[in-house]
Amino acid sequence: MRIFSGIQPTGEKHLGNYIGAIRQYVEGQDRADPAIYCIVDLHAITVPFDPAELRQRVYDTAAVLLASGLEPDRCVLFRQSDVYEHTELCWLLSTVCAHGDLNRMHQFKEKSARQRELVSAGLFFYPVLQAADVLAYRAEEVPVGEDQRQHVELMRELARRFNERFGDVLVEPELRVPEVAARVMDLQEPERKMSTTVGSDSGRVYLLDDPGAIRKKFGSAVTDSGREVRRDPEKAGITNLIGIMAVATGRGEDEVEAEFADSGYGDFKKAVGEAVADYLAPVREAYPAIREDEEGLERVLSEGADRAREMASVTLADARRAMGLGPA
Ligand code: AQP
């Protein structure tokens, strides 16, 4: 089975990225043949960016992924812009994608509303490129956070439409979101997801935050006026913390609730801060040495791109043939 997922080289990665996506990537290495992970620099350029920084952010993200447990021998890790097949398939898929489909995408609505200067056509096309990323590998599974559900539904639809129109070329992938904490919420505004671009640093826990900063952020996490550590749709803050605690300690949410049934919010928040600081310690500790070796990172990415290209070029040749493009 092939697994594929992409991650943006934007900013520092946060706990939401880790719980929603990165830990699933690591686990996917045991199940997939192969697990394919892509740093999507072409997606990152759909909003304002600094060209001088972009390459560095790609290395930062590659180093975070390796520090989290991706192993170049057990997965394919590469940079999206190194494999031209993604952009070509994006164009081919655009012919079976309705303008109205893209207009409905929540992420486009949110991100376009935030752009002050230019809402790029690239931002509008973001989900088509994302569909091409996955479909180029005929991946059967896409591990992502809950916020990507709508994009994965669209890519499934595009695969179906393409196959109906041109023959059985593409594989419709299954969404895989974590069972617990699929949408990690902002610690200060728990009605909103933890995000790279929205919200303050105090609501967002970076993977590389030091333990003191992590404890402080959880200590000042917004909860509610109640006392009971219990999941409840009316208690977004405490529900979020219970999910995070469950993941960080490898237990069920029921168990977490039972353990803290007699504790107040203050003690619980303190315990979550400690647990997350421990949970992220291996990533934080492994990162600096990996990040320092840019040549090593470049080698991993370029070897990954060679392997990725071999797979994607087969799908592209089939898609082109099915559409009547190029010589017979
Ligand atoms: N809060 C979250 N909870 C669970 N999963 C999340 N993901 C993102 N936020 C959460 C998942 O992380 C993966 C990578 O996302 P990305 O490539 O979009 O990276 P990003 O730009 O750093 O992520 P953000 O924070 O989502 O950026 P904004 O908010 O600025 O758009 C995906 O699988 C995603 O589901």
Clarify whether residues 151 and 227 are in a common domain.
Answer: no
- Note whether residue 193 is domain-resident: no
Clarify whether residues 103 and 252 are in a common domain.
Answer: no
- Note whether residue 183 is domain-resident: no
Clarify whether residues 215 and 110 are in a common domain.
Answer: no
Clarify whether residues 171 and 274 are in a common domain.
Answer: no
pLDDT tens digits along 224-261: 888 899 999 999 999 999 999 999 999 999 999 999 99
Determine if the peptide bond prior to 34 is cis (ω within 30°).
yes
- Residue 37's pLDDT is what? 98
- Residue 328's pLDDT is what? 79
The atom of ligand 1 lying closest to the CA of 7 is 17
Kindly state if the Cβ of 80 falls inside 6 Å of ligand 1: no
Clarify whether residues 50 and 163 are in a common domain.
Answer: yes
Number of domains in the chain: 2
Kindly state if the Cβ of 20 falls inside 6 Å of ligand 1: yes
CA distance 81 to 86: 8
Sign of CA dihedral 289, 293, 299, 305: positive
DSSP letter assigned to residue 197: S
By three-state DSSP, how is residue 77 classified? strand
Kindly state if the Cβ of 240 falls inside 6 Å of ligand 1: no
Clarify whether residues 33 and 76 are in a common domain.
Answer: yes
Write the CATH number for 211.
1.10.240.10
- Note whether residue 328 is domain-resident: no
Residue with tokens 């353990």: 259
Clarify whether residues 219 and 164 are in a common domain.
Answer: no
- Residue 133's pLDDT is what? 98
Q: Would the pTM of this model clear 0.85, i.e. be above it?
A: yes
Q: pLDDT below 50 — which residues of the chain? A: none
Clarify whether residues 167 and 120 are in a common domain.
Answer: yes
- Residue 62's pLDDT is what? 98
- Note whether residue 283 is domain-resident: yes
Cross-strand pairs, 38? 6, 78
pLDDT tens digits along 130-161: 999 999 999 999 999 999 999 999 999 999 99
Kindly state if the Cβ of 7 falls inside 6 Å of ligand 1: yes
Minimal CA–CA distance to 86: which of 141, 144, 125, 30? Answer: 125
Write the CATH number for 304.
3.40.50.620
- Residue 116's pLDDT is what? 81
Kindly state if the Cβ of 57 falls inside 6 Å of ligand 1: no
Clarify whether residues 240 and 279 are in a common domain.
Answer: yes
- Residue 93's pLDDT is what? 98
**Ligand 1 mean position, distance from CA 17 (Å):** 5
- Note whether residue 16 is domain-resident: yes
- Residue 73: what residue type? D
**Which protein residue has the closest C-alpha to ligand 1 atom 35?**
145
Clarify whether residues 18 and 72 are in a common domain.
Answer: yes
**Which protein residue has the closest C-alpha to ligand 1 atom 7?**
17
Clarify whether residues 121 and 244 are in a common domain.
Answer: no
- Side-chain-side CA neighbours of 323 within 13 Å: the count stands at 21
The atom of ligand 1 lying closest to the CA of 44 is 21
- Which of the listed residues 14, 109, 142, 147 should we mutate to test ligand 1's pocket, taking the one with most ligand atoms within 8 A of CB? 147
Domain that holds residue 231: 201-287
